[in-house]
Structure formats: structure tokens, C-alpha cells
Structure 1
């Protein structure tokens, strides 16, 4: 049951992230010097990639933490 709730929460966050990224790409009206620098050199993709890697790492950490807690709860119930 905990796994289903965690999975649904992670899926919800992922869908919100996807919709946020889609909206951010549509509203491409800012033309500041920093934004132009990142876009011209392709560095914006590096930043997005790093953010995705961090997000995936946090999700994997939470999943492993949930599994460990579930094992401890099961062990505690059996005592």
C-alpha cells in the first residue's frame, strides 16, 4: 500500500514536471543576456540535464528509503 502511494506521488510529480517544462518552452519571451548566452552555447541543455539527474537521484533515494522503512515495520510487527 505504501508503494502504491509513493508510486502515485512520484508519477504525479513527474507529470507536473513535464507540464511545467512544456509550458516553459511555450513562453520563450525572455531575451536577457544570460538566457541568450545559455541558448547560444547549448548550455541550457546541460543545466536541464543536471536538474533531471538530481531529480531522479532524489526519487531513487526516496524509493530506497521507503523500502528500508517497510522492512523495519515488517520486522517490528513480527516481534
Structure 2
């Protein structure tokens, strides 16, 4: 219960941070990157990192499964 409540509080705090306005009138970073054509590089890097994490987790899961099978024997 305590973990759930703290998770909800953290999510509500993060939502309020996203609601802040750009008061300076400057273009957002994503808009600038998109205008320069660099947004695709950013997306490719993030996708590569995400894919690496997924592959690592799948590999780790298979190793843990093998160890669990060895312990059960």
C-alpha cells in the first residue's frame, strides 16, 4: 500500500512538471532537432539503447532459468 501510494504521488508530481509552459518563447529542443533533421539520429540512438536493454534482459532471463533448473535437480 505504501509503495503504491508513493508511486501515485511521484506520477502526479511528474505530470505537473510536464504542464509547465515555455515562457521564453524559444523553440523546444525537439522542434529544433526536427528542423535540423537530427531528430532521426536521436530516435535511432534511443531505439538502439532500448533494443540493447531488451536483448540483455532476455539473455539474463535465460541464464537465470538455466540456474534455476540446475538448482531443482
Following superposition, which runs of at least 4 residues in structure 1 exceed 6 angstroms of deviation?
none
TM-score (norm 1): 0.54
Larger radius of gyration: 2
Name the structure where helix makes up a greater proportion of residues.
1
1:68 aligns with 2:68: no
TM-score normalized by the length of structure 2: 0.58
Unaligned runs of 5+ in 2: 1-25
RMSD: 1.7
**What residue ranges of structure 1 are gaps of 5+ in the alignment?**
1-30
State the alpha-carbon separation in 1 of the partners of residues 61 and 38 from structure 2.
35
CA separation in 1, counterparts of 2:49 and 2:39? 15
Q: Which fold has the larger relative contact order, with Cα–Cα distance below 8 Å and residues 6 or more apart in sequence?
A: 1
- How many residues of Structure 1 are paired with residues of Structure 2 in the alignment? 48
